[in-house]
Amino acid sequence: MGYFIVMKNQIRVRFAPSPTGPLHMGGVRTALYNYLFALKMKGQMILRIEDTDQSRYVEGAEEYILKSLEWCGLKFEEGPHLGGEYGPYRQSERKKLYNIYVDKLIKSGVAYYAFDTEKELDQMRVNLKKAGVQSPQYNQITRQNMKNSLTLPVEEVDKKLSNNEEYVIRIKMPRNQTIKFKDKIRGWVSFSTNHLDDKVLYKSDGMPTYHLANVIDDYLMKISHVIRGEEWLPSAPLHVFLYESFGWEKEMPEFAHLPLILNPDGDGKLSKRDGDRLGFPVFPILWKNIKTNVNIEGYREKGFLPEAFINMLAFLGWNPGNNQEIFSLEELIKEFSLEKVGKSGARYNYQKKRNGLINNI
């Protein structure tokens, strides 16, 4: 434990994409902000492939991620392609390790087995909607009427486990507690546990969910700062609760949740559909879909230099506080700080960004 405390002064960030498709420009911006922060603070940046959802794995996606980041000029100290002291760096290769920690949660009473079938879960949702519940959840109240190790006799639970019946492992979220943490972009954020559900930590296929795996990996890989998209903010209280449940409060990283990149209309998160509709790319380089044999051009194929693409992305959520519009990567590293990242979503106007870069280069 003392070794970790000494190392805590070392800034370590991670970019942890899932190989479920091509890397979107929003993902590249997350990688960029991690990279700028790490180098500004003379820290380390690692790449981790979060492939726990094997059902959504897309062939060629991991290779595409590596090639995209290489084109952008973003480099890593550790990763699946580099190795490192804290590997392996693909979550699918760390399965045995997660088993140890989920067992600890079961034994401490923070997690429990749930044997409910899909049919039973669907019926629960139907019943709750009939009762006027708009967003049915498996939570502190509904778990009492479900088939899990909190409601079943110990002998029956043991029998189900010995018979290898399918189950998931859920977090046992307490009632009437407040989970609070300080976000480096948003300030203090608090959540009532009464509004949180009992998320699945371990799936029936024997793989951990993102929530469990990312907390364990961030701890073991000594990550000091988690810089990720705003869409993960609702999951943050569960992650904080897991750190507390493992007794890792002192080792918990600082969080920074980045604003969304909005579509040109400003009414939603930028998506591939927006690019198709308005005629601009959303991927950094050419994506070749092996399954469908469809090729989708990226910014590289549209004639963008990687320096121009990176410069454009940097300004989608960050402001240097002066009138300078064109930065080299070295200048971005020097000027970047999380304090200058905004809380509100950044609207993306491709034509304006493109013209601005052309006119200033």
Same domain, 121 and 54: no
Pair (131, 184) in one structural domain: yes
The CATH number linked to 134 is 3.90.800.10
pLDDT, tens digit, 9 for 90 and up, residues 231-279: 999 999 999 999 999 999 999 999 999 999 999 988 899 998 999 999 9
Assess contact for 142 and 129: CB atoms under 8 A.
no
Beta sheet of 111-114, edge-to-edge order: 111-114, 168-171, 200-202
- 164/264 same-domain check: no
At 4 the pLDDT is 41
User: H-helix or E-strand containing 272?
Assistant: helix 272-278
pLDDT score recorded for residue 93: 95
Check residue 138 and give left, alpha or beta (phi > 0: left; psi -120 to 50: alpha). Answer: beta
- Average pLDDT on 12-27 reads 96
Average pLDDT estimate for 81-95: 95
| Contact of 203 with 274, CB cutoff 8 Å | no
Range of the domain at 80: 9-91+259-360
Report whether pLDDT(7) > 70.
Answer: no
Rounded Cα distance, 239 and 234, in Å: 10
So what's the pLDDT on residue 292? 87
Residues 106 and 86 in one domain: no
Question: How many domains are contained in the chain?
Answer: 2
Q: Which of 8, 160, 184, 272 is catalytic?
A: 272
Give the number of residues written for the chain: 361
How much is the mean pLDDT over the chain?
A: 93
Looking at residues 23-31, what average pLDDT do you find?
97
pLDDT value for 291: 84
Residues 63 and 172 occupy one common structural domain: no
Q: Is residue 132 part of a domain?
A: yes
pLDDT digits (tens, 9 = 90+) for 303-326: 999 999 999 999 999 999 898 889
Is 129 among the catalytic positions? no
The single residue listed with the structure tokens 């794995």 is 57
pLDDT tens profile 133-173: 999 999 999 999 999 999 999 999 999 999 999 999 999 99
Per the domain annotation, does 70 fall within a domain? yes
Answer yes or no: do 151 and 108 share one domain: yes
pLDDT over 60 (residue 85)? yes
Rounded mean pLDDT of 83-95? 95
| Domain annotation covers residue 278 | yes
The closest of 318, 55, 324, 312 to 203, measured between CA atoms, is 55
Residue ending a domain, among 189, 217, 245, is 217
